[in-house]
Amino acid sequence: MTVGTDGSRWGETALHWAARHAWNRGDELLVLRGAHGGSTRPITRDFPLLPVRIRTTVGNPLAAFAESSWESELLVLGCRGERHRHPGLGDLVVPAVLTAHCDIVIVRGSDDAVDGRHRRVTAMVGGSPDDPLVVAHAVDKALALRAQLMVLHAVPDPLTHHPVSRQHDTDEILVAAEKVVAGLARYPATFIEPVRAHPHEVVASRTDTDLLVVGRGRSGAVMRSALHLAPCPVMVVHDPTPPVRTAPSGHRATWTPCLPWPRDNRSPLTPATTGGI
């Protein structure tokens, strides 16, 4: 696991978040520290047996993040750094997400969420090719955090959106997520639900979540909404396969979804007897 810090408030918060998760998983922590990145002494004090390597970065931090992501399963950064003093997302965050070669967590949100007090991980699915990866990686994080998993699909109001192709059918999206979870050897208590709202509204309302897991998606709109609006840390799942963007002749490549409301009441998946928490 790799974490970048410049000594700012959110840089240090990201450092502590990464150290706690590396400790829970038994991983080594690589700290990419700017020239004024502060001390790692509190980390070695709080987690005395955590293997820590420290690398001082000079020059372009984006290059250092991208390079280190080749050898990491997870890259952790704060939502803004010392150079970005006004509220909002730091200038380097989106470029770091787009150039990372592994999953990346952007630490943001309330203290309760950052400290993992809700015991819940939420994954967003929407019929994108990376949905199975998003769900599988969310399961892994929920198990590591000993948290329950909530898989949500945003369903905008059908009165204001145009129909889309069958591949975006709500039932199919949710059933596909169920199959991913059920096919894993171990999984936590899992709830899979549609939410009648726009994706950005769902993202902004996750005040009961410790980690929001999203993919880059077709257009990146949900990912960007999560990075800007989520009240909790956000994990963007890296899909190593290049996206294939095709559209029927005479049609636009993307549509704004209008999805039918499912007719059944879905019950939560319970942990398998061979695993779970």
pLDDT along the chain (277 residues), means of 10: 92 94 93 75 82 89 94 95 71 94 97 97 96 98 96 81 57 96 97 95 96 90 96 95 50 38 47 44
Q: How far is the C-alpha of 140 from the C-alpha of 31, rounded, in Å?
A: 23
Quote the pLDDT of residue 253: 40
Residue 261 within any structural domain of the chain = no
Half-sphere exposure of 173 (CA within 13 A, CB side): 30
Residue 31 within any structural domain of the chain = yes
Quote the pLDDT of residue 84: 57
Do 173 and 229 sit in the same domain of this protein? Answer: yes
How many domains would you assign to the chain?
2
Do 121 and 88 sit in the same domain of this protein? Answer: no
pTM of the model: 0.83
Do 150 and 88 sit in the same domain of this protein? Answer: no
Which two structure tokens, joined as six digits, stand for 269? 């998946």
Quote the pLDDT of residue 277: 44
DSSP 31-53: EEE-TT----HHHHHHSTT--EE
Do 224 and 187 sit in the same domain of this protein? Answer: yes
Q: How far is the C-alpha of 111 from the C-alpha of 231, rounded, in Å?
A: 10
Quote the pLDDT of residue 271: 52
248 three-state secondary structure: coil
Domain that holds residue 208: 112-237
Do 42 and 76 sit in the same domain of this protein? Answer: yes
DSSP 209-235: -SEEEEE--SSSHHHHHHHHH-SS-EE
